Chain A
């Protein structure tokens, strides 16, 4: 037995084992988005679901991201065929209503769906307080690096993406981000993250 060679060979295998062990700490399905911190991709999309007063917009109007500078903008991608979107519907709709008096704007973007099916879905869910727009051929979804629905982007008043949420969002997440981004609020995002 040549123990020196044996030891060298065993040591050579350590990085491989370590690599696999490291693999357990990662989730291959979770891909970080490069978007947060960058300027939000511009869009100008046509309203198909008006929302409710006081947040309503006329059907056929165009909502342009540029005109929302100065507001905290919440962009939610959804679809009528998406089951998880049902879970977050009331959180979004009610939070939007609660912040109706602040400089905020909620926008739903219909992803990969027909407007008629989307409108039916909203009616079936008991209405939605804010307007939803159409994303023809998913151009905006691709601009936002979408993997699936629901995904929610929170854009700060200067037009930069502050946060991307994958999966159904809750009202507490929405509130803490909006509060921290509204003009005059403490902009310490770290404390926001902690309070969640």
Chain B
């Protein structure tokens, strides 16, 4: 049966078979328990969730992604934080499952340090160079070269 035929046949009843995302949505608990009793925990959860990459999306964090897996991963983050784990421990958990790929911001260690040092050195070096140029170009000299 073609998809369109199904949809036209029985619109709402059939839609739950139509596609993965739909079925996922249909599979959501009837009234999801949004833990809003603790705004501080929510804030910490969102902050941490924004640094973890959603495995089924492209480049989105699990905070931004509406996918079911991202929501469930957010719940794991929330539960682990509530249980007293530090953000670094929660990150370490996800890295042990998904690899470093899961971190949207690479850890500051090893080769990655260069990635963080580069912009800083660039600006410092650039400022020094501009200061040098300004000095040279404002000193009256017939021909600098």
Which residues from chain A sit less than 8 Å from chain B, CB to CB?
Answer: 31-35, 41, 79-82, 112-114, 117, 137-139, 141-148
In the complex where A31-B98, A137-B72 touch, is A114 in contact with B27 (Cβ < 8 A)?
Answer: yes
Given contacts A137-B75, A141-B69, contact A112 B97 (CB under 8 A): no
A137–B71 Cα gap in the complex (Å)?
A: 9
Is B43 interfacial (CB 8 A cutoff)? no
Per-residue CB contact flags for chain B residues 1-25 toward chain A (1 = under 8 Å, else 0) read 0000000000000001001101110
Convert B54-82 into 0s and 1s, putting 1 for each residue whose CB lies closer than 8 angstroms to a CB of A: 01100000000000110011011000000
Decide: A145 and B75 in contact? CB cutoff 8 A.
Answer: no
Q: Of A80, A113, A142, which is within 8 A of B72 by CB?
A: A142
CB distance B27 to A142 under 8 Å? no
CA distance A142 to B20 in the complex (A): 18
Having A117-B16, A141-B69, one finds 17 other A-B pairs with CB under 8 Å, namely A31-B101, A33-B98, A34-B95, A34-B98, A79-B20, A79-B23, A81-B22, A114-B26, A114-B27, A117-B27, A137-B72, A137-B75, A138-B68, A142-B76, A143-B97, A145-B98, A146-B55
Contact of B97 among A113, A117, A144 (CB under 8 A): A144
Which A residues are in CB contact (< 8 Å) with B26?
Answer: 114
The distance in angstroms between the C-alpha atoms of A77 and B56, with both chains bound, is 15
Contact present for B96 and A82 (CB under 8 Å): no
B119 to chain A, nearest CB (A): 18
Is B110 an interface residue when CB atoms closer than 8 A count as contact?
no
Inter-chain contacts of B19 with A (CB < 8 A): 81
Q: Which 8 A-B pairs have the closest CB atoms?
A: A145-B97, A81-B23, A138-B72, A81-B20, A145-B98, A147-B55, A114-B27, A34-B99
Q: Is the interface of B mostly helix, strand, loop or mixed?
A: helix
Shortest CB distance B128–A (Å) = 21
List, in ascending order, chain A residues with CB within 8 A of B96's CB.
Answer: 34
For the complex, give the distance between the alpha carbons of A147 and B20 in Å. 14
Main secondary structure of the interface of A (DSSP, over half): loop
Chain B residue contacts of A142, Cβ below 8 A: 69, 72-73, 76, 97
Residues of B within 8 A of A143 (CB): 97
Most chain A CB atoms below 10 A, which of B19, B26, B56, B97:
B97
- Nearest-neighbor residue (CB-CB) of B56 within chain A: A148
* Interchain residue pairs with CB less than 8 A apart (12): A31-B99, A31-B101, A35-B97, A81-B23, A82-B20, A112-B69, A113-B23, A138-B68, A142-B76, A145-B55, A146-B55, A147-B56
Closest chain-A Cβ to B106's Cβ sits at a distance in Å of: 14
Interfacial chain B residues near A148, Cβ < 8 Å: 55-56
Complex Cα spacing A145 to B55, Å: 9
In the bound complex, residues from chain A placing their C-beta under 8 Å from that of B24 are 81, 112-113
By beta carbon, the residue of chain A nearest B72 is A138
- Tell me the smallest distance from the CB of A109 to a CB of chain B, in Å: 14
A147 to B69, CA, bound (A): 9
Task: Give Cα A39 to B79, complex, Å.
Answer: 23
Q: How far is the CB of A131 from chain B (nearest CB, A)?
A: 20
Residues of B contacting A34 with CB < 8 Å?
95-99
Residues of chain B lying within 8 A (CB to CB) of residue A33: 98-99
